[in-house]
Homo-oligomer: A and B are copies of this chain.
């Protein structure tokens, strides 16, 4: 048991990325300026033309790190991040500021002096929709309103594609606008993402913008399969593990490396205070599993859970600014027996809590029976549903079974109810699934849940590698992302073994950025491939620093390179440590290219002409680079 410690100035990571600067792109419809990271590149030295160079345009990349990586923003974790969205929210005139916190539990914690030392200092009065109003982005979208959040997202998703597409040498893909049954990228091309396209996808329920009106610090992002594939990082302290200070740094750290959302799964004491610190300092949407905290409130006795207590927990968290809730409303009493012959039964914590409650009372899951009341709370704060898959398989042997797919059908039924209330909804998916059974998950989800965004945990494609489950699951995650899954929940190397530390969080995030990006390439997202092309060009031209700076993890790339060839000179050397100075596979190409430039590209012509070329070549002592 660690002694509690709250964040101090300097306890979060704030350095910018190498050779990168934060840029802000202005909107046209609203007063939005969208943060992006611009990576400056060095010049290309033209081979055999000493001194001559060619400029390389800077590369702009999607940036989830928030103000922490902008040296011009003063960071104070005790004050929290600037409230980017406050004006947009107020301008819609459909919210009111409450006199105080509505939840009993929230009031209790606030009035407990023993918590003063732990509490975030600047707790503002919560906002809530005016009576009768619905403040969800889905509600606005259906009414044809393009919100500031939607414009922000359109600009953000394009990553200045206009300029970047020019870098692609005609290698650009086209965005797979995917419909049911067409999840292999061969679809209606969308070359550019407009604010109206964002609105229409949200209105159709195909995409979700998790933006609680009480989390104005968050930079708007979208979860939908016709946009960049997103990743979530789970953090959270537990009785045995870590402090508030460590968890806040984990959140900032996860965003730095690319987490699009953070789920706070804290289970220790001080969950309420920990969450406040995390939300106030999070540039990305925060998700939670409210049943975890509810369980702590009844000292871990699932059978003591009640609707009233759970309802109070939802309001408590909604007023702090949680952007999406995992709700295990699909675990129905009649499905529980379907898990009896499984190899690993029920492995979802939320699922097992609800199963235990159902068995203890022999009643239907109260999340299911009170679902419409939950919707009323969600739309008053714009909290999105993440409908939990409490019966997901816990091993390869249990994949795609009756328990799993029965629950999925119920989640589809609940999606219709949520949409009736204009509540944004995503659907959670497995888990452990061998490769040949992955596509069926995507197809059934699209069918049963009417194309609501899918949000999967991996899936892990084998059970035999504990300690490497970030990899066993990245394989499944990349595939299901390609097939149409909108967000991938990361798995760290500690999965099944322990709680992730900072290194594990980074390993999990980078691994999932790889899976998500591989999926974006396969879907043909126009904003995906230019970064691969820029890095490959740098690699080919031995612009080592550019290769490092364009990579997902510049520090690691550079340190690996330096292990073999530490000298600074090696980074401008015209060869690499694998082939050595003697010869290099990439050098030859320049000769071929120079020749083609002179003689045109007709293969016949070239092979003819090469006779002569080969003589010159030999006469130069066969030195390609003089």
Q: Which residues of A contact B (CB under 8 A)?
A: 169, 171, 184-185, 238-241, 267, 295, 299-303, 333-349, 351-353, 355-356, 359-362, 394-397, 434-436, 461-468, 470-472, 474-475, 478-479, 482, 493-494, 496-499, 501, 510-511, 513-515, 517-519, 521-524, 529, 531-533, 535-537, 539-540, 547-548, 550-553, 556-557, 560-561, 563-565, 576-580, 582-593, 595-596, 601, 603, 606-607, 610-611, 613-614, 617-618, 622
Contacts and interface: CB of A to CB of B under 8 A. Distances in A.
Given A240-B564, A466-B548, A497-B557, A471 B511 contact: yes
Contacts of A524: 436
A434 B579 CA distance: 25
Contacts of A295: 582-583
Contacts of A496: 539, 547, 576, 578
A147 to B, nearest CB: 31
A540 B496 CA distance: 10
Contacts of A267: 579-580
Nearest to A622: B303
Contacts of A613: 359, 362
B361 A564 contact: no
17 contacts: A171-B343, A240-B580, A345-B540, A352-B584, A352-B588, A356-B591, A397-B529, A397-B533, A435-B482, A435-B518, A461-B478, A466-B551, A467-B557, A468-B552, A471-B474, A498-B564, A499-B578
Contacts of A340: 589, 592-593, 595-596, 601
B471 A501 contact: no
B589 A339 contact: yes
A344 B511 CA distance: 25
Considering residues A345, A601, A617, which has the most beta carbons from chain B within 10 angstroms of its beta carbon? A345
How many copies, total? 2
A511 to B, nearest CB: 6
A493 B463 CA distance: 22
A601 B341 contact: yes
Given A344-B537, A436-B482, 5 more contacts: A339-B589, A394-B536, A436-B523, A466-B539, A471-B511
Given A362-B611, A467-B551, A577-B240, A540 B344 contact: yes
Contacts of A302: 583, 622
Contact of A536 (B185, B397, B589): B397
Contacts of A471: 470-471, 474, 511, 514
Contacts of A240: 564-565, 577, 580
A397 B563 CA distance: 29
B518 A461 contact: yes
Contacts of A531: 464
Contacts of A494: 560, 563-564
Contacts of A361: 614
Nearest to A533: B397
A552 B464 contact: yes
Given A341-B601, A362-B611, A603-B334, A522 B468 contact: no
Given A557-B497, A592-B336, A550 B464 contact: yes
